[in-house]
Amino acid sequence: MTVSFVALGLDHRHIYGMTQHMRDTGATCLGYWTDGHPDTLDGFTKRFPELPQFDGLDAALNSGADLALVSAIPADRADLSIRAMQHGMDVMTDKPGCTTQDQLDDIKTCVAKTGRIWSINFSERFEVPCVTRATQLVQAGAIGKVVHTAGLGPHRLNRATRPAWFFDRTQYGGILTDIASHQIDQFLHFTGSDTAQIPHAMVANHANPNDPGLQDFGEISLRSATASGYIRVDWYTPDALPTWGDGRLTILGTDGYIELRKYVDVGGANGTDHLILVNGDRCEKIDARDAGLPYFQRLADDITHRTDTAMRQDHCFTVMELALQAQALAERTI
């Protein structure tokens, strides 16, 4: 079976990678629909000039596709995902997959009723080869039992290119719902935790007082039955950095640790996907660029065989539950 898919909503440039990675599995894109003319549309059509645009959303929903890729304005993703599932499609949505608890409850109800897959492309795990290699090392016992993760998600503001919804809390869902969902996903994944408690969460706007809807800093402390973690996210990446953010993850085990310098190694080696491994007999930096990105092929296989290998459905739900809980806690304590 060749998987077919449509792109619904092009408001975030993550749709570029989502589309390309699914095509790389051999899946066929039937076309795209988006509301209006977001700034990202020109970049999409430049990358994929051969893809047709549907006359409207109904045409896309009735295309017979197996999968919908959703990268609309965050507040609109839940509704598009639900409509796609009601039309018989599985869904891969950009993060955050939703922005409110009511939306998440509606998605859960729809998944239970339709039997469709609702998957979030946590790109800071699924589109980063060094995370693939770290997963392999952890599963092989290279650092013992994982007891802590520290995830840093700095981003460049790029104010001139940001649409109005980016500065509207009700549209993007808050910095912890949005960016920190990546790090929550990685905490649960690497510690093997089914869920977690959130003892502390905070958000702030330290540097952009003229944009009161923007949260430019956030942090979370996590605790599960077997591990703990810390998350810091922000919009402060300086212009001199050669990429959008110096994203890092440190995974602490009882027998060693792994540090991931995902996108840049300041003062070190060129390129991306730098993995540092230290344990009882190894102390080395590993170039992990060739580790692969298995999520997309696994999702294609799950669509075909109705399996659950790319990301467990309960894990996907739990990540968003915790992100929304953290956001709510942080805003209660401002």
The total of other beta-carbon atoms located within 10 Å of residue 42's CB is 11
- Tens digits of residue pLDDT in 252-304: 999 999 999 999 999 999 999 999 999 999 999 999 999 999 999 999 999 99
Q: What is the CATH number of domain 125-292?
A: 3.30.360.10
Angle (CA) 303 304 309, round 5°: 55
CA distance to 125, 159, 296, per residue, from 307 (Å):
20, 41, 14
Domain boundaries, the chain: 4-121+294-307, 125-292
Query: Confidence class of residue 333 from pLDDT cuts 50, 70 and 90?
Result: confident
Domain 4-121+294-307 has CATH 3.40.50.620: no
Query: How high is the mean pLDDT of the chain?
Result: 98
Express each pLDDT in 144-190 by its tens digit.
999 999 999 999 999 999 999 999 999 999 999 999 999 999 999 99
